[in-house]
Amino acid sequence: MRVYKWLFIALILSFQVTGTKAAELSLDDQESVARVEAYLNEITTLKARFLQINAEGQYARGTVLINRPGRARFEYDPPAQILVVADGTWLVFHDKELEETNRIPLYSTPISVILKEKVELKGDVTVTSVEKDGGILRINIIDTDEPDQGGLTLVFTLAPFELRKWLVTDAQGSTTSVAISEVEEGLSFEPKLFVLTDPSYD
């Protein structure tokens, strides 16, 4: 499989968590979930470097821009010639080398969890477990209506409290991680950065 394929799939794939059910969350767990919701809802814009690694150890780096609600831009470093843009409605993937463009509904993808106007880790999604260890908080999430087809782990540092990584596991049990660093918040972005109308983007 070409590298560009798994780069895109890591953002859109559904994940398998067969047999996983919603946990009875403790009061401390509920407070952690509320803290995550509040943190994500306070983000308006974010810029960061990312490192994406799949189960086979293939990796790619790039820059991500997030403009909540609904908008994100993943620019992959060379040699990848890839751009992924969330425009509020669609997640659009373009491979410049192959001149291929694919679109899928944004809110059918894992990344939509943190791009919603109001992040609530209930309703459409269900928290299955909350883990704290060594200054790290992990929130494990599944799709409420289709629990065997959706799951996501959000990873935060506790001091300072910041999103550092998300992990997606596919139907075969393979996990892809996206770690972010050099995070900047509160920036202003040109609206055109979140619109992919020209497949031959520069």
- Tell the CATH superfamily of the 3-183 domain: Lipoprotein localisation LolA/LolB/LppX (2.50.20.10)
155 CA to centre of own chain = 11
Residue 83 bridge partners (DSSP):
75, 94
The tokens for 168 are: 């997606």
Residue 162 bridge partners (DSSP):
157
- On the question of pLDDT at 104 being above 70, the answer is yes
The tokens for 169 are: 């596991």
Tens-digit pLDDT profile for residues 1-59: 344 444 455 554 444 333 445 568 999 999 999 999 999 999 999 999 999 998 788 88
Tokens 């992924």 correspond to 84
Among 134, 178, 132, 123, CA closest to 152: 178
Per DSSP, 4 falls in state H
Domain ranges of the chain: 3-183
Going by DSSP bridges, is the β-strand pair 151-158/71-76 parallel, antiparallel, or unpaired?
unpaired
Contacts of 57 (CB under 8 A, 6+ apart): none
How does the average pLDDT of the chain come out, rounded? 84
Which H helix or E strand runs over 64?
A: strand 59-67
Residue 176 bridge partners (DSSP):
168
Least confident range from 26-35, 96-105, 130-139: namely: 96-105
Question: What pLDDT sits at residue 148?
Answer: 65
Tens-digit pLDDT profile for residues 73-98: 999 999 888 899 999 999 998 988 88
Tens-digit pLDDT profile for residues 63-75: 999 999 999 999 9
